[in-house]
């Protein structure tokens, strides 16, 4: 399984009595693209942070690409994320004063990818994502939000992750940009057979996915009984 959760529960240390997540069982097969929707505050970002190893469970099994994140040291988890997981967030994806190429190079550096290959793949990805050569050398703060999100995808894909995690990455884009962003994202993950977990409150985005789930069907925390 690309993702496998078993009896996972999580509460933030500041509010230990308030369970944010309680997931008895959930899994995603390799190569699947899954859309998980739910209202703001429902725990979508918390779930993604557990899967990328930014947060750790209180108890339960968190397996990603066959590895138990909950049993790894912090150092190994950071390394595992850099090598195997691509992440795209709603905002603040990029280092604003670096250009697109250096943002991507930095991600490749953390994963210790081979430099010559990185240069070539960076060009390829930026071309596929429609970032023209002159835009690649501007500080990313000077790019449009749509361009920044496309650079963020390039950065998330540079290390050839098997799993891509996307946290409402299109919510700051207008309708037209959102549609082309989604089309690009879906064609790239299908081309490279990447497992995609995409979360959003915006149910309209579900049209791009075959597997669509409500977080409330996965997560029993906070449910009314
Ligand atoms: P979503 O992404 O679906 O909007 P979140 O995962 O961000 O939901 O939040 C789920 C719950 O956890 C909310 O009640 C939120 O207030 C709380 N929460 C999120 N981040 C933190 C944090 N760093 N510290 C404490 N509580 C948090
Ligand atoms: Mg969120």
Among 198, 208, 201, which Cα is nearest to 28's?
198
Domain ranges of the chain: 32-53+81-218
Which of 23, 36, 45 to probe ligand 1 with, by most ligand atoms within 8 A of CB? 45
C-alpha 76/C-alpha 80 separation (Å) is: 6
Give the pLDDT of residue 177.
85
**Residue-wise pLDDT tens digits, 148-190:** 999 999 999 999 999 999 999 988 888 888 898 999 999 999 9
CATH architecture under which domain 32-53+81-218 falls? 3-Layer(aba) Sandwich (3.40)
132 CA → ligand 2 middle, Å: 31
Residue 84 in contact with residue 162, Cβ under 8 Å?
A: yes
**Residue-wise pLDDT tens digits, 51-75:** 999 999 978 999 999 999 999 999 9
146 CA → ligand 2 middle, Å: 19
Report helix, strand or coil for 178.
helix
56 CA → ligand 1 middle, Å: 14
Give the pLDDT of residue 210.
95
Mean pLDDT of the region 37-47:
96
37 lines ligand 1 (CB under 6 A): no
Give the pLDDT of residue 90.
84
Ligand positioned closest to the Cα atom of 215: 1
Give the pLDDT of residue 225.
52
Query: pTM of the prediction?
Result: 0.94
Give nearest CA residue, ligand 1 atom 26: 12
Give the pLDDT of residue 204.
93
Alpha helices (H) along the chain:
44-51, 74-84, 100-110, 115-128, 145-157, 175-191, 215-218
**Residue-wise pLDDT tens digits, 92-139:** 789 999 999 999 999 998 887 777 789 999 999 999 999 999 999 999
pLDDT at 209 over 70: yes
169 lines ligand 1 (CB under 6 A): no
Question: What is the pLDDT confidence band of residue 224, given thresholds at 50, 70 and 90?
Answer: low
16 lines ligand 1 (CB under 6 A): no
53 lines ligand 1 (CB under 6 A): no
Give nearest CA residue, ligand 1 atom 27: 12
Give the pLDDT of residue 12.
96
165 CA → ligand 2 middle, Å: 12
Interior CA angle at 152 toward 67 and 11, to 5°? 50
Name the CA radius of gyration of the chain, rounded.
Answer: 17
C-alpha 80/C-alpha 134 separation (Å) is: 33
């Amino acid at each position: 399984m690309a993702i496998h959760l078993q009896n996972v529960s999580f509460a933030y240390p500041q509010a230990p009595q308030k369970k944010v997540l309680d997931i008895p069982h959930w899994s995603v097969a390799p190569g699947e693209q899954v859309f998980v929707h739910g209202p703001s505050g429902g725990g979508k970002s918390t779930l993604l942070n557990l899967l990328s190893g930014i947060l750790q469970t209180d108890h339960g099994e968190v397996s990603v690409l066959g590895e138990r994140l909950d049993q790894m040291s912090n150092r190994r988890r950071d390394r595992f994320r850099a090598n195997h997981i691509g992440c795209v967030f709603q905002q603040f994806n990029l280092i604003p004063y670096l250009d697109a190429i250096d943002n991507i190079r930095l991600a490749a550096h953390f994963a210790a990818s081979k430099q010559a290959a990185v240069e070539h793949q960076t060009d390829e990805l930026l071309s596929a994502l429609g970032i023209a050569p002159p835009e690649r050398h501007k500080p990313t703060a000077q790019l449009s939000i749509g361009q920044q999100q496309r650079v963020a995808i390039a950065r998330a894909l540079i290390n050839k992750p098997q799993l891509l995690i996307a946290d409402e990455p299109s919510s700051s884009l207008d309708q037209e940009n959102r549609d082309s962003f989604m089309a690009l994202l879906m064609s790239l993950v299908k081309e490279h057979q990447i497992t995609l977990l995409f979360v959003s409150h915006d149910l309209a985005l579900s049209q791009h996915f075959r597997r669509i789930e409500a977080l409330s069907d996965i997560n029993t925390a906070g449910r009314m009984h």
